[in-house]
Amino acid sequence: MTSASENRVTLRVIPSPLWLALSLALLALLACLLVGDPLRREMNAWSRLTTLLPMILLAGLMVLDSIHRVEMQSDGIRVMSIAGILLGKIFPLLRLRGRRAFRLTWSSVDAVELRIPQFQSPFRRHVPRGWLQAGSSGRVVRIPLGHPQLPRALALLRHFVHPYFLHLPSQDWEGKIPPRPALERMLRSIVFNPAVPAEFLAETARACLLWGSQNRAEHLMDQALASQGPDERLLEEYFQLMKSMGKHDKAREALEKLLVLRSSPMDLLEMAEMRHLEGDQKGATEFLLQAAEYPPSSDLAHFLLGCLYVQREGLEQTALEQWKKGLDRAQHPQLLGKLGETYRYHRALLTTPGFFEREHRRIRFWIWARRLGLMGSVAVIAGLAWWWITPGSASPFPGKSGLLLILGGILMTVAAYLRRAGRD
């Protein structure tokens, strides 16, 4: 029986680098204003500290709010900002940390993806720049690749999340990214010995992709496929790699060859996804109907059929019927939870008056909250910088810089209200 410590992984991650950068910039600017007096009022250090203390505390809370504590447990993911923890210890009865925390059950996780940017700094010699992203719309958790608990987090996610909703590299790279010198030796081996096995070429291509070299990874996979005849394992690796790089034409060609070699329901689902991305809704429906005939994956096929039908005007009732079939046949607990939530949501959409309008308004509030929050932060920092560089801009009070500060504060207040309405 597993202990509670094994079912919990505590991580400290930064979910919003832009928000953290703006907060640190505001804190640094306030520190400069505390050291020097731009208005030259001959105020001593304690008077300046008393004047700027509210803004310094607010900027410090903004910094702490950008750093989150993430706990992965057997029932889901719990996220709370450091600011929420601090406010909860100081004011335990005011419930000020209610909006600074959220919980994601495993059934509400929409997707888990590995994000590796194309630009990689040459100073990162062992671990590439990237992160593991899990969550749903508006509730995202980021785990950096260099975190020591990444292998345990991957094991938990693979155990609880349905494989269809999981997009990760192969198991060979879980938690042990190859260093750059090892990748260079692998590439030299290919150059000096062109007759290397196709498996070695595919492994080197995966390593190149993890380090951000997409062109080299594509060239190596083409070379591996040309050096060996049609092989199921190699074609599957080729398809997954091209799909992750966004090469949909090459991925579709490899998937068509896989459908000729074997009859797998997951291949049919992948082909349906390809047709859906190309805009061929009829072809996607045909492949999903073929996949629904296979008993092991009929639940997932019916779920995707319902998602496809709900996008077509006037077919919401047909989508409900497909989700009901998936609920009756679902075996995996993650997919069962996802089907149940989707079925309840769209049933409420059909039966509750004004449900769609409220959901659309909530999403719109959430988007505008992020925009206004960013504009307000920029306005506050710009106003303080203007006041510091040109003290005369604050006279007569409040002056142009003061008006910019007031405008930024109003925008941030409106953003906080809209964010609350968007979450509800």
19 lies in the same domain as 166: yes
Residue 403 lies in a domain: yes
**Mean pLDDT for the stretch of residues 55-71:** 84
59 lies in the same domain as 150: yes
Report d(CA 300, CA 287) in Å as an integer. Answer: 13
- 170's CB contacts (< 8 A; 6+ apart) are 206, 237
Residue-wise pLDDT tens digits, 121-152: 777 667 788 888 888 766 788 888 888 888 88
**Mean pLDDT for the stretch of residues 163-189:** 77
Residue 211 lies in a domain: no
59 lies in the same domain as 87: yes
More confident residue, 350 or 302: 302
Residue 52 lies in a domain: yes
158 lies in the same domain as 20: yes
Sheet containing 68-73: give its strands across: 9-13, 68-73, 76-81, 101-105
pLDDT at residue 255, as a whole number: 92
**Mean pLDDT for the stretch of residues 326-353:** 83
pLDDT at residue 238, as a whole number: 92
pLDDT at residue 37, as a whole number: 63
Print the domain residue range for 296: 263-351
Question: Is it the case that residue 294 has pLDDT exceeding 50?
Answer: yes
Q: Comparing C-alpha atoms, which of 324, 247, 322, 326 is closest to residue 285? A: 322
69 lies in the same domain as 25: yes
Q: Which helix (H) or strand (E) holds 10?
A: strand 9-13
Q: Are 372 and 415 in contact (CB under 8 A)?
A: yes
User: Which one of 122, 143, 173 terminates a domain?
Assistant: 173
69 lies in the same domain as 159: yes
How many structural domains does the chain have? 3
Greatest alpha-carbon span in the chain: 83
User: Which one of 313, 335, 351 terminates a domain?
Assistant: 351
Q: Are 385 and 403 in contact (CB under 8 A)?
A: no
Residue 418 lies in a domain: yes
* DSSP E strands, 111-170: 111-115, 131-136, 139-144, 166-167
84 lies in the same domain as 30: yes
**Domain with 316 in it: what CATH number?**
1.25.40.10
Highest mean pLDDT among 60-74, 274-288, 338-352: 274-288
67 lies in the same domain as 108: yes
389 lies in the same domain as 277: no
Residue 169 lies in a domain: yes
280 lies in the same domain as 371: no
Residue 232 lies in a domain: no
Residue 227 lies in a domain: no
pLDDT at residue 258, as a whole number: 92
Q: How far is CA 196 from CA 20, 200, 205, 237, in A?
A: 47, 7, 13, 17
Residue 338 lies in a domain: yes
Residue 227 has a CB neighbour count (10 Å cut-off) of 14
**Mean pLDDT for the stretch of residues 239-261:** 90
71 lies in the same domain as 106: yes
Question: Is it the case that residue 49 has pLDDT exceeding 80?
Answer: no
User: Which one of 173, 207, 233 terminates a domain?
Assistant: 173
Alpha carbon 250 to chain centroid, angstroms? 26
Report d(CA 364, CA 25) in Å as an integer. Answer: 29
Report d(CA 310, CA 306) in Å as an integer. Answer: 6
Q: Comparing C-alpha atoms, which of 64, 54, 55 is closest to residue 87? A: 64
Residue-wise pLDDT tens digits, 362-407: 888 888 988 998 898 888 888 888 888 887 887 887 788 888 888 9
414 lies in the same domain as 325: no
Helices 248-261 and 265-277 cross at an angle (nearest 10°) of: 150
**Mean pLDDT for the stretch of residues 405-422:** 86
Q: Which helix (H) or strand (E) holds 72?
A: strand 68-73
